[in-house]
Structure 1
C-alpha cells in the first residue's frame, strides 16, 4: 500500500468561475491544485466574442492571488450569430482554446444557446478547418424527453449527425453521465474525447432524492442510476486517453441552491483531488490517476503536460464546509465518505 503519490500538476478541462465577488472567492480554490482550466463562457451576458474573452481573461488574472500560478484557457459561447471571422482571429491570437455549445435551455445561463444546429454549421466547418475544439453540453431539451434520457437521445439525434456532417472536428463530450456516452466515446476515433466530473464518479440519483431532496447534489446533467456511475468509474480509472477530468465545478450561493427552484451545480474545486484519490484507490487504480487528471486532457487539446507536480499523501484531509464569498456562502461538495488523502503542493 502506497502512502504517497506524486503527479504532474493536474488541469481542469471544464470549470465555472463566474465573475465579480464569486470569481474572486472561488478562483483560489482551483488555482491551489490546478495549473490550467477550460473556463466556461456562460456568464450574463455570455462570452461570445474575442473582445469578451479578452476582457474576462483579464478579470480572472486580476483576481488571482499573489503567489498563485494559474492559466485560464478561454472559450467562446457558440450562438446562432457567432461570427466565424471573429472566432478565427481569437483562435489565431492564442486567446481561445475551444468553443462551447449549449443547447438552448439545457442548463444554467444557456438561454443564448443553439436551437437550430443548421445555423451554426458554417462555424463548425471553420472550427474543423483551423483545429479549434468544440465542447458540448450533451443533452436535448425537448420537453417530451425524460431528463434521465436526454444525454442518450442527444448522442443519437445531435452528436453523431453533427460529427458526420463535420469531419475533422475535434469534439469534447463534456461531463458524461451514462454508460451510453462511455460506449459511444469508445467507438470513436481520437478526434473525440470525454470529460468526467468528480461528483458523477461519486453520486447516483438516489443521493439527490432518497430521504429528502439534497440540493447540493443536484446538477445538470443530473446524476443517473448506479450502473451508469459504475461505468463512469470504470472509464475514468481505465487510463484510456479519451477520458479525462473536467470537474464542472459550479459555484452557486446557498440561497440559490436551497430554495423552491434550486440552481444546478456541485462545487468541487476545493476537494476534487482528495476525492479522486479515494475513488481511484477503491478501484485499485491509483496508478491511473495521473493519466486521468494530468496527461490525457493536454493530449486531447494539443497542449504540453505541466512540468510541476503535486503530491498526495495518505493523511486525513481537512476542507472547509463552505466558502465565504461576497454574494453569500457556497457549500463545498460532500462526497459522503472520509477523505484520507491530502494534497501537498510541490515543484520539480
Structure 2
C-alpha cells in the first residue's frame, strides 16, 4: 500500500476568503497547502471593478502569513452594469483571472447578481475575445423550482443558451453536484470545465437531514442524492482533465450557522487535501489525485503547473482541529464523518 505520495503543490479553483478579521483567520489555512486559488468576489459590497479587485488583493497580501508561498487569483463579480472594457483591462494587466456569474439570490451575498442575462451579453462576448473564463454558480432561483433540481434546470434554461449564443466563451461550472452536470461537462467538445468540492465528494443530503439537522453540512448548491455523489466521485477520479478541485471553502462563524436561518457553506480549507487523498484512495485512484488537485485546473486556466511540491503520508488516523478561531468568532472545520489516514508532511 502506498505510504507516501509527492505531487505538485495543489491549487484551489474556488475559494472564499471573506475580509477583515475572517480573512486573517482563514487565509493561513489555505496557504498552508495550496499554491494558488481563485478568490470569490461576493463580499459586501462585491468586487465589481478592476479597482475593487486591486484593493481586495492588497488586503489579502497584507494578511498573508510570513513565508507563505501562495498567490491569490482575483475575480470580478458580474452585474448588469459591468463594463466590458474594465474587465478587459483587468485581465490584460494580469489582475483578474475570471469573472463570476451569480444568478441574483442564488447564494451568500448574491443579491447584486444577474437577473436579465441579455444585459450581460456584451461582457460575455468581450470575455470570449480575450479568453477570460466565466465561472458560474449554476442554479436557477425561481421559487417554483425545487432546490434539488435547480442545477439541472440552470443547465437547460441558462447555461446552454449562453454557450450556444457565445460559443467561444470558456466556462467553469463551479461546485457541480449532480450527474446531470457531469454528463453536460463530458458532452462538451471544448471550452467547458467544472470544479468539484471536497464536501460534495463526501456527503449526500442524508448527512444534512437524517437524525437531526446538521448545519455545518449545509451548503449551496445543497448536497444531493447518493447517486449524484457517486457520479461526482467517478468524474473526479476518472482522470478527465475537465474536472478539477475547487473547494468552495466558505467560512461562517458558528452562530451564523447554528441558528433559525443558517448560512450556507462548508469550511474545508484546513483539511481539503488530506480528504482528497482519502477519497481517491478509497476509489482506487491515487494515481489520479495529482491531476485533479494540481494539474487539470492549471491547464484550463492556462497557467503552469506548480514547480513546488507537497508530500502526503499515510499513517494512523489524523485528528483535525474541530474549529479555528477568528476575530469574529469560531468557525467549525468540516468533519467528514470517517477516519482520515493522510496528512501533508512536506
Query: Per the shorter chain, which TM-score range?
Result: over 0.9
**Mapped pair 1:80 → 2:80:** yes
1:38-117 alignment to 2 at 5 Å? Answer: 38-117=38-117
Aligned-pair CA distance for 1:190: 2.6
Aligned-pair CA distance for 1:69: 1.1
Please name the residue that 2:168 is paired with: 168
Aligned-pair CA distance for 1:189: 1.8
- Tell me, in whole angstroms, the C-alpha distance in 1 between the residues paired with 2:343 and 2:84: 45
Aligned-pair CA distance for 1:19: 0.1
- Tell me, in whole angstroms, the C-alpha distance in 1 between the residues paired with 2:141 and 2:54: 31
- Tell me, in whole angstroms, the C-alpha distance in 2 between the residues paired with 1:232 and 1:252: 25
Please name the residue that 1:127 is paired with: 127
Please name the residue that 1:319 is paired with: 320
Please name the residue that 1:328 is paired with: 329
Q: TM-score, structure 2 length as denominator?
A: 0.99
Q: Deviations over 1:131-188 (max 9, x none)?
A: 1000000000000000000000000010000000001100000000000000000000
- Tell me, in whole angstroms, the C-alpha distance in 2 between the residues paired with 1:189 and 1:73: 26
Q: Deviations over 1:178-204 (max 9, x none)?
A: 000000000002310000000000000
Please name the residue that 2:138 is paired with: 138
**Mapped pair 1:210 → 2:203:** no
Q: Which runs of 5+ in 2 are unaligned?
A: none
- Tell me, in whole angstroms, the C-alpha distance in 1 between the residues paired with 2:17 and 2:276: 21
Q: Extract structure 1 runs of 4+ deviating beyond 3 A.
A: none
**Mapped pair 1:309 → 2:305:** no
- Tell me, in whole angstroms, the C-alpha distance in 1 between the residues paired with 2:302 and 2:189: 16
Aligned-pair CA distance for 1:318: 2.6
Please name the residue that 1:159 is paired with: 159
- Tell me, in whole angstroms, the C-alpha distance in 1 between the residues paired with 2:298 and 2:314: 27
Please tell me whether the aligned partners of residues 190 and 242 of structure 1 are also in contact (alpha carbons under 8 angstroms). Answer: no
- Tell me, in whole angstroms, the C-alpha distance in 1 between the residues paired with 2:215 and 2:167: 40
Aligned-pair CA distance for 1:317: 2.2
The alignment partner of 2:345 has SS state of strand
Aligned-pair CA distance for 1:319: 1.6
Please name the residue that 1:283 is paired with: 283
Please name the residue that 1:249 is paired with: 249
Aligned residues: 345
